[in-house]
Amino acid sequence: MRALVMGVLNVTPDSFSDGGRYFSHDAAVAHGLEMVAEGADIVDVGGESSRPGAEPVAEPEELRRVVPVVEALSPHVRVSVDTAKASVAEAAVGAGATLVNDISASLYEVAAAGGVGWVAMHMRGTPRTMQHDPQYNDVVGEVVTFLEERADRAVAAGVTEVWVDPGIGFGKRAEHSVTLLRHLGRLVASGHPVMVGTSRKSFLGRLTDREDVPLPADERLAGSLATAVWAMANGAGMVRVHDVAPTVHAAMIVGDAGAAGRDAA
Ligand code: HH2
């Protein structure tokens, strides 16, 4: 069985790699359906950018961006809502979302009340400040401990589908993100299904810079695929990506390779 592929749908003017491209309702729904045709298992609808330095979006505006798109897509595909606001998560669940993708790792009660799944992501600080010199003594240990504690709270509250996500690039320097990927097995060992989002992120641009100029976001496909494959091969059950078609192919290859290995054993 292959890992699940979550396609990113940013209904925002300012997301770091696709801001403004799917800001109108029609463009957003069309892109969501395009990702479904490409094999996305879940479409993740978000109305507030969480890129470093992003300004918060007011609740009425986030609702206006997200809810109609969730409503239009949920008859066609499983939809998650990418939000840190309880009210937006609740409204999206009412409109058909069955997974709350929560970068604040705090909305498990909304998921419990709605009878839907929940993704707890690790972040240090807020998007506005998170890249101001993040420090860890043991980044892997701190992230795993935090996520296990949040997952336990969610299970106790009655959420039956709990994913944990190390939050690549959220209050992390490039070396922190790489260390988390290298030791993903420690998060997988927590027993909760693991989701990973590396797609087009800036650490990929830094690792592949040319003369100290980071590779731009639209040239990070190879890095996105390499890290998605790494994550899946090391036990991630879901990857969150912008480039759905190539990632689905990669997931099929990784899944098949695993199955072939098992058959041969
Ligand atoms: N990354 C982003 C947003 N949401 N959710 C989870 N669970 N994991 C992630 O790694 C993650 C996430 C950032 O990517 P993107 O949505 O493309 O950008 P922006 O926040 O600028 O809209």
Tens digits of residue pLDDT in 226-254: 999 999 999 999 999 999 999 999 999 99
Distance 265 CA to ligand 1 centre (A): 38
pLDDT in the model for residue 212: 83
Length of the chain in terms of residues written: 265
Question: Given CA atoms 89, 165, 19, 35 in this order, what sign does their dihedral have?
Answer: negative
CATH class, domain 4-264, is: alpha beta
Q: How confident is the model at residue 259 (pLDDT cuts 50, 70, 90)?
A: low
State which of 80, 82, 128 you would mutate to test the pocket of ligand 1, scoring each by most atoms of that ligand within 8 A of its C-beta: 82
Domain boundaries, the chain: 4-264
**Residues contacting ligand 1 via CB (< 6 Å):** 8, 10, 12, 15-17, 46, 49-51, 82, 101, 103, 119, 121, 165, 167-168, 195, 197, 240
Tens digits of residue pLDDT in 134-183: 899 999 999 999 999 999 999 999 999 999 999 999 999 999 999 999 99
Active-site residues, by number, are: 201, 240
Distance 50 CA to ligand 1 centre (A): 6
Give yes or no for a contact between 88 and 116, defined as CB atoms under 8 angstroms apart.
no
Amino acid identity for residue 188 in this structure = V
Distance 264 CA to ligand 1 centre (A): 38
Cβ contacts of 92-99, under 8 Å, gap ≥ 24: 92/45, 92/66, 92/67, 95/67, 95/68, 95/70, 95/71, 96/70, 96/71, 97/45, 97/70, 98/74, 99/42, 99/161
Distance 140 CA to ligand 1 centre (A): 20
